Amino acid sequence: MLINPHLAGWKEALHEGLRGSEGFIYALVDGVHNEAFYQKLEKMDYLLYQPLYATAPSADSETLGLGPILVQYSDVYRKRWDALLEMTNGLPALSIIVSPEPIEKLAARLIPWCVVDADDYTVALSFADTRILPTLVEALDAEQRGAFLGPATRWIYPGRDGVRLALVVAPEKALPAAEKVVLTAQQVSALMAASEPDSIAYQMSQYIGKPLARYTPFDAHLMIARWLQVANHVKMESSRDRFALCEFGLERPELIEDARYLALLEPGGGPRTLDETRAFLA
């Protein structure tokens, strides 16, 4: 589980919220978070879907299931659609898009965003990961946003607390799909900063685990982000030290309300080493 579970009755509330929508309704699923999703989808020949890695060289079933997947909604198969969506519960893997574009055209719009030029490096961009999605859209310039969001009239995704959120869309500002996506150093920096708390939480869950045991995914992210704010303020640059500071803070949640923690965020709070910071808070 990487985000909080949805609230009870979330699928019914979603359908109610989409009632009367004009255009096609799609689920955009980040398959890497649950590889069983695509395996199940392949057996449902009655739902129209498009894996966005389909154009990748030598793409096989395993590869297709690890990338973003578009699935078109059908009233006739609502129960089966809901069963698929349930496989994303507690995962940052689901967006609901309402768009006038047919699935082939929407897929063609999103495919260039799967692999991008990021400050002269070719990287896979996890834009369907809803922890990254809002930061990405905010970092894009107007032209990139118009090419990415296109004429979509709604784009809904779960926040880290499991509550449904919506991107600000502007269908009247839609632009043709990008042929190639190039992100600047500043945009890459914004994405890296936004993903650092998740990276630290992942490492802790794999190798330590204990510091996260008392937290929900939402609260763990919030706490880690707060301690990274301290690390930034005291000019702590080492990844190992930043990780250790977050571990220290997660094990002592009461420090967030402590005057010493707040003092580290004030002018004159740094620079400090990891040992100096921990000693100050002891």
Residues 169 and 30 in one domain: yes
Q: What is the pTM of this model?
A: 0.93
Residues 197 and 169 in one domain: no
Q: What is the pLDDT of residue 269?
A: 73
Domain that holds residue 231: 189-281
User: Residue 1: which pLDDT band, with cuts at 50, 70 and 90?
Assistant: low
Could you tell me which of 239, 260, 238, 198 has the C-alpha nearest to residue 249? Answer: 260
Element (H, E) at 154: strand 154-158
User: Residue 6: which pLDDT band, with cuts at 50, 70 and 90?
Assistant: very high
pLDDT in tens, 194-233: 999 999 999 998 877 678 889 999 999 999 999 999 999 9
Residues 220 and 162 in one domain: no
Residue 5 lies in a domain: no
Report the phi/psi class of residue 150: left, alpha or beta, with left for phi > 0 and alpha for psi in -120 to 50: left
Q: What is the largest CA-CA distance in the chain?
A: 63
Residue 4 lies in a domain: no
Lowest pLDDT segment from 11-20, 40-49, 106-115: 40-49
Residues 93 and 45 in one domain: yes
Residue 2 lies in a domain: no
Whole-angstrom distance, CA of residue 67 vs CA of residue 45 = 19
Q: Mean of the pLDDT values across residues 23-52?
A: 93
- Total domain count, the chain: 2
Residues 99 and 214 in one domain: no
pLDDT in tens, 259-280: 999 999 998 777 999 999 999 9
Q: Domain ends where: 179, 211, 241?
A: 179
Residues 19 and 145 in one domain: yes
Lowest pLDDT segment from 65-69, 151-155, 242-246: 65-69
Residues 222 and 122 in one domain: no
